Amino acid sequence: MDIVIIGGGFAGLNLAKELLNQKGIQVTLVDKNNYNFFPPLIYQVATAYLEPSSISYPFRKFFAGKKNLQFRLGELKKVIPEQKKIILDNGTLHYDYLVFATGAETSYFGMENVKKNAIPMKTLNDAIAMRNTILKNLEKAAICKDTRERRKLLTIVVAGGGPTGVEVSGMFAEMKKSIILKEYPELATAASNIYLVDGGPVLLAPMSKDSQKDTLEALTSLGVVVKLNNRVVNYEQDTVFLSNGQTIQTKNLIWAAGVSAITFEGIPAESYAQGKRMLTDPYNKVNATDCIYAIGDTCLQRNDTAFPQGHPQVAQVAIQQGLNLAKNFKLLQNNKPLLPFKYKDKGAMAIIGKNKAVVDLPKPKMHFKGFIAWAIWLFVHLISLITYRNRFQTFYNWTIAYFAKDQSLRMIIRPEKKNKNTRTPNNPEA
């Protein structure tokens, strides 16, 4: 049985790991990156509190020595279901079963100016680019003599009141009060604000009312200006336009407001639903297809009675669907009845700042805030990292940051632009 998995995030990697050493099953995991990364901590890379290597790990190193697992670097271009074949940007692969675990990408809701000018927060590349942008703007502000221009360089607008938006807003607020004043004395009297904008009436909409209330109070106490019932509708010429007619002058719009799944050539149009997610049956098989499955953020399953509109696009759903599908592949191999997927909600959490977080647990129904919630958040995210190396490195960086109230990772690292006169293999005489 040859299984090809497209995407090595929470869903795809957990599926592959669960099929390790399974006789008769050969797994090929395809990803456009050669590494797995941990999305919940992306914002800490973006704000220079963690190194990229702390939350990422090479697929080939992880798969080394695992005989029935192999990795293929490539980007999916087309599926040919009748031939059980996929076309990659660097070749082809055949499959007996194809699994989409492609996650989601940033959605700008059709706003081209926002897409062109905002700073996304979805991938490791986004995080590094955001870190560079924020640090470069701080350096520009330090030497800027124009008061209005300096304020635009220092003002940050975060769009999206989910966990990512809340966490990055809180992090910037703490940096503003300590690190920036210490390292940029030129900015001690400079005016700036951090805004968090969301179209809904509350922050962290899926969480409890207690968590929503505690989060709003904590962010406000840190100095974040929260604008609810407001959406970003445009961003051009350093101006964020809000749905209520207000504007904010800034060179830093961080976009954490929405995601969308990805469509692929060869998958029938009737297999997709809202958000471009693939509709599946209770066993994660994609509707109107044969031998093609979808798990994680790209999957929309309406058969779970507890979630008739589909499961939330969160890590736990992806992990559990990956593990359940692995069990079903083993059952398929032995011609046994399959297990329908049932999501077990383990709760939700968000960190706001140092010693500030909120945690909701479903069974028993409990709510935590403050230091206890903060400690729970740290522990859960630490043990969720893929390897012991990632856990140790992250724990070390967190310990330094906690006691020193600082971190030494604020470096602008970017590829050097090639000069036209630089000697290259294609231009040896330059």
- For residue 155, tell me if it sits in a domain: yes
pLDDT tops 90 at residue 423:
no
Residues 141 and 187 in one domain: yes
197 phi and psi, to 5 degrees? -115, 130
pLDDT tops 60 at residue 429:
no
Burial class (CB in 10 A: 0-12, 13-18, 19+), 128: middle
Percent of the chain at pLDDT exceeding 90: 77
Mean pLDDT value across the chain: 91
Containing domain of residue 200, as a range?
Answer: 112-258+348-404
Q: Which of 333, 357, 386 is the last residue of a domain?
A: 333
CA-CA distances (angstroms) from residue 342 to 281, 295, 316, 318, 406? Answer: 12, 13, 12, 12, 43
d(CA 186, CA 145): 11
Residues 224 and 292 in one domain: no
Among 251, 240, 247, smallest CA distance to 114 is for 240
For the record, the structure tokens of 227 come out as 């604008």
Count structural domains, the chain.
Answer: 2
Residues 82 and 168 in one domain: no
Residues 143 and 236 in one domain: yes
Residues 170 and 90 in one domain: no
d(CA 267, CA 286): 9
Query: For residue range 318-362, what is the model confidence (pLDDT) as tens digits?
Result: 999 999 999 999 999 999 999 999 999 999 999 998 889 999 998
d(CA 316, CA 298): 14
- For residue 37, tell me if it sits in a domain: no
- For residue 42, tell me if it sits in a domain: no
DSSP state, residue 229: S
pLDDT tops 50 at residue 430:
no
Residues 133 and 226 in one domain: yes
Looking at residue 413, its pLDDT comes to 76
pLDDT tops 90 at residue 96:
yes
Query: For residue range 3-30, what is the model confidence (pLDDT) as tens digits?
Result: 999 999 999 999 999 999 999 999 999 9
- For residue 63, tell me if it sits in a domain: no
Residues 130 and 179 in one domain: yes
- For residue 422, tell me if it sits in a domain: no
The shares of helix, strand and coil residues in the chain, as percent rounded to the nearest 5, are 35, 25, 40
H or E stretch including 291?
none
Please give the model's pTM, rounded to 2 decimal places.
0.89
- For residue 317, tell me if it sits in a domain: yes
Looking at residue 387, its pLDDT comes to 86
Q: Which of 276, 304, 333 is the last residue of a domain?
A: 333
**Local confidence band at 296 (pLDDT 50, 70, 90 cut-offs):** very high
Residues 265 and 366 in one domain: no
CATH of the domain at 265: 3.50.50.60
Query: For residue range 152-180, what is the model confidence (pLDDT) as tens digits?
Result: 999 999 999 999 999 999 999 988 887 88
- For residue 48, tell me if it sits in a domain: no
Residues 124 and 198 in one domain: yes
How distant is the alpha carbon of residue 164 from its chain centre?
8
